[in-house]
């Protein structure tokens, strides 16, 4: 028997609306949470239309769908992920099977290329595909094991239900971040820079993964039920702490030939949502830690992308990492999505991205901006940056360093600010 999918009934209304509006094929993403027994789908999001995709007519743009999935995955807090893809067309389901298979593998390959955590034995590797016929409104649901290149389609059960995430649990924490990443001697290579940053972030991600997680001040046994003894259909909120042990192999006095360093310091707000089917403490810890890693890595990557687009090559730059802003999903439950607001942006830009990427209509009063503050540049943050001395072949000896720092201002437990400085002297 195939996997079962319990789907929020708002997804049914959303797909029906797309059937009425569109004449040609429509693709999109399915968002939710996997579990060992069944998966839960809470959102469906159509692929944004581009001029190229509109001109393409009936063909499906695989690169557009997978890039959309990559950006959406950054906007999903812990516990939410891209579960698969859907297509709405007037052709038979069997005629779209090859296209859907190509889409789920392309989406998986691109998203997994950005992940910094190690896969767990209990991770679900099945991705779902859904075909909706615009004429008959018949849905055909199949899954593929995206970790098996030879995987073939397997039938799955697709069932709509109201209040799928109404009693999901929320686990949140505020974590101070302080990590240092050495940069390559050859800083002219953007590929080398990105690779070193990713490797450095992976080292930090391993520290997060091996850290101790306290939930409501207690270290719970892995197999204990998180909501044991709690009333059903009542929202559960938990506060967590992550206790991180520094890497014993990291010696601060070691001299290393490098072109600089990236120092990320600050505090971030992390949040994870857990399905209501007897979630375990082990799951809460895994999802929260993954959210911590992904939110930091996403911000660093987004800033690098902004710099690449701007083409600004100043010798000294002071740049703020974006702050995290949450927005509730329009369903009966605690589930939220998030966006990242740069210091030079207003809330209208956040609302526009929520509409473009997630097809969500949000107002400014819907946005939760209280969890993280916008960082402020201070002179003391710049002057305290460490220097890294390097020697370049065929050039006079010189000091070369890139100091990247996050300056933190924490006013409340769940209030954080982050800062990134780039200095090249």
pLDDT means per 10 residues, the chain with 425 residues, are 90 93 86 92 93 64 95 97 96 91 96 90 94 92 94 95 92 89 67 80 92 93 81 76 72 61 84 90 96 94 75 52 92 90 92 96 94 67 33 28 28 33 34
Which SS3 state, helix, strand or coil, does residue 399 take?
strand
Of 11, 76, 74, nearest in space to 46 by CA: 11
For domain 4-161, say whether CATH 3.40.140.10 is its number.
yes
Token pair of 185, please?
Answer: 């001697």
CA 421 distance to own-chain centroid: 23
CA 169/CA 232 separation, integer angstroms: 11
Please report where in the chains the tokens 């072949």 appear, as a residue: 393
Predicted pLDDT at 124: 93
CA 32/CA 221 separation, integer angstroms: 26
Please report where in the chains the tokens 């003894």 appear, as a residue: 229
- Under DSSP, the state recorded for 225 is B
Predicted pLDDT at 202: 92
Token pair of 88, please?
Answer: 């709405």
CA dihedral 337, 343, 348, 354 (to 10 degrees): -20
**Strand pairing of 139-145 and 126-133?**
antiparallel
Token pair of 3, please?
Answer: 């996997």
Predicted pLDDT at 304: 79
**Strand pairing of 236-243 and 169-183?**
parallel
pTM: 0.85
Predicted pLDDT at 93: 86
CA 46/CA 357 separation, integer angstroms: 9
Q: In 310-424, where do the E strands start and end?
A: 316-319, 323-328, 336-341, 389-390, 398-399, 418-423
Predicted pLDDT at 291: 97
- Under DSSP, the state recorded for 366 is G
**Residues carrying CATH 3.40.140.10, the chain:** 4-161
Predicted pLDDT at 198: 87
Token pair of 153, please?
Answer: 């389609």
CA 165 distance to own-chain centroid: 19
The Cβ-side half-sphere exposure at 173, using a 13 Å CA radius, reads 25
CA 410 distance to own-chain centroid: 23
Find all residues with CB under 8 Å of 343, minimum gap 6, and list them.
320, 322, 374, 375
Helix or strand run (H / E) with residue 350: helix 347-358
């Amino acid at each position: 028997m195939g996997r079962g999918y319990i789907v929020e009934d708002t997804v049914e209304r959303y797909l029906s609306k797309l059937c009425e509006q569109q004449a040609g094929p429509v693709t999109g993403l399915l968002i939710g949470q996997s579990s060992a027994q069944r998966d839960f789908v809470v959102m469906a999001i159509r692929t944004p239309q581009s001029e190229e995709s509109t001109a393409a007519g009936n063909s499906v743009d695989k690169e557009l769908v997978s890039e959309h999935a990559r950006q959406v995955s950054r906007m999903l807090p812990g516990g939410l992920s891209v579960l698969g893809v859907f297509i709405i067309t007037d052709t038979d389901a069997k005629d779209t099977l090859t296209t859907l298979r190509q889409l789920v593998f392309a989406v998986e390959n691109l998203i997994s290329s950005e992940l910094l955590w190690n896969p767990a034995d209990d991770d679900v590797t099945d991705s779902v595909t859904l075909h909706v016929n615009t004429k008959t409104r018949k849905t055909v649901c199949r899954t593929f094991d995206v970790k098996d290149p030879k995987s073939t389609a397997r039938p799955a059960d697709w069932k709509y239900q109201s209040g799928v995430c109404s009693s999901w649990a929320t686990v949140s924490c505020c974590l101070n971040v302080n990590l240092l990443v050495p940069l390559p001697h050859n800083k002219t290579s953007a590929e080398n820079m990105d690779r070193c940053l990713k490797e450095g972030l992976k080292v930090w991600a391993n520290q997060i993964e091996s850290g101790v997680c306290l939930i409501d001040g207690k270290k719970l046994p892995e197999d204990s039920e998180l909501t044991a003894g709690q009333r059903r259909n009542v929202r559960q909120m938990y506060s967590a702490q992550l206790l991180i042990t520094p890497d014993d192999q990291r010696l601060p006095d070691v001299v290393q030939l490098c072109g600089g360093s990236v120092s990320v310091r600050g505090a971030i707000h992390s949040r994870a949502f857990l399905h209501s089917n007897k979630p375990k403490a082990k799951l809460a810890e895994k999802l929260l830690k993954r959210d911590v890693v992904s939110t930091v890595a996403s911000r660093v990557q987004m800033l690098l992308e902004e710099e690449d687009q701007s083409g600004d090559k100043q010798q000294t730059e002071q740049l703020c990492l974006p702050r995290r802003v949450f927005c509730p999903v329009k369903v009966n439950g605690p589930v939220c999505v998030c966006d990242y607001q740069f210091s030079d942006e207003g809330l209208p830009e956040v609302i526009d991205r929520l509409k473009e990427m997630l097809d969500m209509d949000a107002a400014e009063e819907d946005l939760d901006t209280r969890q993280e503050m916008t960082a402020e540049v201070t002179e003391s943050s710049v002057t305290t940056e460490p220097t890294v001395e390097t020697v370049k072949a065929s050039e006079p000896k010189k000091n070369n360093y890139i100091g990247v720092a996050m300056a933190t201002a924490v006013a409340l437990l769940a209030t954080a600010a982050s800062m990134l400085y780039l200095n090249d002297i």
